[in-house]
Structure 1
Amino acid sequence: MVSAVSLLCTMKALHVLVLLASVVLLCRASPVLEPVMCNEDHSAAAARLAVHDINEHHKHGYKFQLSEIKENKMDKVEEGCTIELHLDLLETKCPSISPKHFEDCETRDESQRAVMANCTVMMAVKDGNADVTKNDCDTRLVKTNSEMHRICPDCPSMIPLNSPEGLKAIETAVHEENINSTNEHFYILQEVGRVKSGWMSSQGMYYSSEFVIVETHCPMGSRIAIEACDPLCPDRARHAFCRSFYTQGAGLQSVDCEYYPALNKTALGPGEKEPQCKNPHLMLLPRPAGPPSPPVHHPSAGGGRPPSHGHGPPSFAGSGPPPHAHGHGQGPPSFPGSGPPPHGQGPPSFAGGQGPPPHAKGPPTRERVLPFISPCNGFLAYSDPALNPICPKPLPEPRHIPKLERS
């Protein structure tokens, strides 16, 4: 008979093995890249280097994988060669903040609203060293909302990342995560990955969202209004990738977050304060002026969240609305899944080109203003507002965006 002590030791050993395995998977070194040579067999190594470089510079949205080498051209020059590649990439389910290597990530199929990118990449090879000098990608849905609805009328639409209705659902989810997690600090929204919207006959419109939250300097349980919380420096902050499900009729149904460790875990010295940094990837929620939201108090502190809260998460396979959603005759309104966003006419639009939201009466507060999503310095004026595009390399200088007036 196995003693209780032996059983306990075995269980502890298994627990340690599981933790070690998780650390190995999380911290596994990136695969070694093959050298790019100026010969007929250069295409595979060159394409792999190109996709690696694209993901290294892609600091928002999701990681991409190589789907197909459409064309490649090599020209010999002194001491080396130049290579031009035409590649098809597929968006993966791994957010850019994930430590997982892009080649180990799962891609979406068409029913999950797959996203692809057609890329032209220029590369210079000299003295055995290859350098990606330029890339230009067209990021788009494999099937537009219109094309998808012809195949599946009840399937959800991809809606703009700054949709007011979608952001309301996400803000509710972020608030719920702060209330129910055991984190040491408050978290705020960093970026929206994607939002799908559909219709449920019993609950009205629903919003299935994916987004990233970032750790702030505000301790959990403090009396600081969340609006005043700034994120920690990008390398010192923990991040989390979250999925939520929200309906107009019942509100937030679920939120589930996967947390990633900070890149810089160096402890602060005695009396040393957290450094102040500007987060270049922070996405801010639109918030009308008025009394600041009350602080969220939490009785505990730790590093994650309880096993579960609220209702269990729905399926995120992306194959359509929940099983009880039906009736496309009363389906969701049309959303612009493709086409150019409004631009060049003053402040960015928040809702149907009507300008920024009206200010409510009341004492002024520090507003978090959300402009049109443009992670590429305003260069991609005609990118799909429902997607996180691959930015060109080299990235152009930022365009001037007029400041919104605040009351």
Structure 2
Amino acid sequence: MLLLASAFVLTLLQGSNAQNKTSVTPADCNTIETDAGVALDLVNRHRRDGYVFGLFRVADAHKLHIGNSSVLYLTLDVLETECPVLSRRHWESCEYGEIYSTASNGTRAESYVNNDFGQCKIITYTSQLLKKPQLYGFNCTLSPVPPDLLECKDCPVKVEVLEVTEQHKNIAAKALKKFNSESNHTNYFDVDKVEKILKMTASREGHILGFSIKETNCSKSAQQAEPTLQCDFLDDWHAYVGFCKARVISDAEEPDGTDISCELYSPWVRPHLLKCLWLYRHTGDSNPT
């Protein structure tokens, strides 16, 4: 995507009039924090999975002036927040990290787990006509928390970040059964993607998962009448989506060792599609046949 954005910038340069002067300068230190925050919010709104990125610091910033317009090049150090991208929340309203609590031999132990750290390279374009910056390219990379930072030899609970596999999706699906049985939603939900999983080991073994869910075409009444009914996801325009956090304890003496909480969000409406539909409709009205 950055290559496409760079091509766009070159086009701007080639198409600029001879009288329009272009210059690249370091960004204004007094305003760059605000501009970087706006750019990061545009990136988060463009993404479709994972967790919302929060701004840690501005590593580098330069601005290309093209006549009455400008292109901003940003390199931002970011941290994953606890907000899923599906929530559409602004990164400043999200929290970082979480404290996971587990009881072991009557003792309450708390383990703090840091979020992944990363870097985003972002290009935005602002014209004098639109005033608001537009996102023209970004590339973000994340580095997982090093295992040694999670080690605690004296802690009664050992925490380990696992690489997500198909097996973990099955664990999420089992946890989701509890949500489906207890929620008042008319249709069943299924696991879309497991975003993160932690393994906790003490006197018992357990997993903590964060995963996205999506509404299926199976109603609860139809499923009860035909248990083997195959369920498929509804299309994006009609399906409710959500994000769940679950704690699953593996213990034969505790058959219902599952705690799950899910947030549901309205059917995903892509802003760029609505914009295209709006432009098409109004262009048609202004040019009657």
Is the TM-score greater than 0.5?
Answer: yes
TM-score of the pair, normalised by structure 1 = 0.49
Code of the aligned partner of 1:167 = K
User: 1:211 maps to which residue?
Assistant: 211
Equivalent residue for 1:135, pick from 111, 134, 138:
138
**Matches of 2:238 and 2:67, distance apart in 1:** 44
Structure 1 unaligned spans of 5+: 1-37, 266-407
Cα distance, 1:68 vs. partner? 1.1
Matched, 1:68 2:69: no
User: Is 2:180 the counterpart of 1:178?
Assistant: yes
* Superposition pairs of residues 242-391 of structure 1, within 5 angstroms: 242-250=244-252, 252-263=256-267
Partner amino acid for 2:141?
D
- Identity over aligned residues, as a percent? 18
State the Cα deviation string for residues 150-177 of structure 1 (Å, max 9, x = none). 677743111122252x333212112222
**Counterparts of 2:161 and 2:119 in 1: how far apart (Å)?**
20
> Post-superposition shift, 1:67?
1.6
Deviation string, structure 1 residues 235-287 (Cα, Å, up to 9, x no partner): 3222332222223323551232233242489xxxxxxxxxxxxxxxxxxxxxx
Helix, strand or coil for the counterpart of 2:96? coil
1:117–1:139 CA contact under 8 A, matched in 2: yes
Q: Would the aligned equivalents of 2:86 and 2:265 in 1 still touch at CA under 8 Å?
A: no
Q: What residue number does 1:230 align with?
A: 232
Q: SS of 2:55's equivalent? A: strand
Q: Alignment partner for residue 198 of structure 1, among 200, 207, 227? A: 200
**Other structure's SS at 1:107 match:** coil
- For the 8 Å contact 1:173–1:252, the answer to whether it is kept is no
Aligned Cα RMSD in Å?
Answer: 2.8
Whether contact under 8 Å (2:188, 2:218) holds in the other structure is: yes
The answer to whether the 8 Å contact 2:176/2:191 transfers is yes
The residue number in structure 1 matching 2:77 is 88
Query: Distance in 2 between the 1:207 and 1:58 partners?
Result: 27
Residue 51 of structure 2 is aligned to residue 47 of structure 1 = no
Q: Which TM-score applies when normalising by structure 2?
A: 0.68
Letter in 2 for 1:159: L
Greater share of helix residues, 1 or 2? 2
Q: Which runs of 4+ in 1 moved over 6 A?
A: 150-153
| Alpha carbons 1:235, 1:262 under 8 Å: kept | no
Change (3 A) 1:39 1:174: closer
Q: Is the 8 A contact 1:215 1:237 kept in 2?
A: yes
Amino acid at match of 1:123: T
Distance 1:100 1:76, change over 3 A: closer
8 A contact 2:58–2:75 mirrored in 1: yes
Quick one: structure 1 residues 57 and 146, their matched pair in 2 at CA, closer, same or farther if it must change by over 3 Å?
same
Q: Is the 8 A contact 1:65 1:102 kept in 2?
A: yes
SS in 2 for 1:97: helix
- Equivalent of 2:158, from 152, 155, 160? 155
| Deviation of 1:225 (Å) | 4.3
Residue identity matched to 1:132: L
- Asked if the contact 2:81/2:91 (under 8 Å) is kept, the reply is yes
Counterpart of 1:175, as a letter, is K
Secondary structure of the 1:161 match is coil
CA distance in 2, matches of 1:227, 1:69: 51
- Indicate the SS of the match to 2:235: coil
Tell me which of the two structures has the higher relative contact order, counting C-alpha pairs closer than 8 angstroms and 6 or more residues apart. 1
Counterpart Cα distance in 2 of 1:79 and 1:231: 47
Q: How many residues align?
A: 224
CA distance in 1, matches of 2:76, 2:82: 19
**C-alpha deviations, 1:288-345, integer Å up to 9, x for none?**
xxxxxxxxxxxxxxxxxxxxxxxxxxxxxxxxxxxxxxxxxxxxxxxxxxxxxxxxxx
Report the Cα offset of residue 182 of structure 1.
2.7
Unaligned 5+ segments in structure 2 are: 1-25, 100-111, 270-289
> Does the C-alpha gap of structure 1 residues 49 and 261 become closer, same or farther in structure 2, counting only changes over 3 Å?
closer
Letter aligned with residue 182 of structure 1: N
Greater per-residue strand proportion: 2
Does the CA-based 8 Å contact 1:186-1:226 persist in structure 2?
no
Q: Using the TM superposition, give the Cα deviation of residue 42 of structure 1 relative to its aligned residue in structure 2, in angstroms.
A: 4.1
Structure 1 residue 220: Cα displacement: 0.5
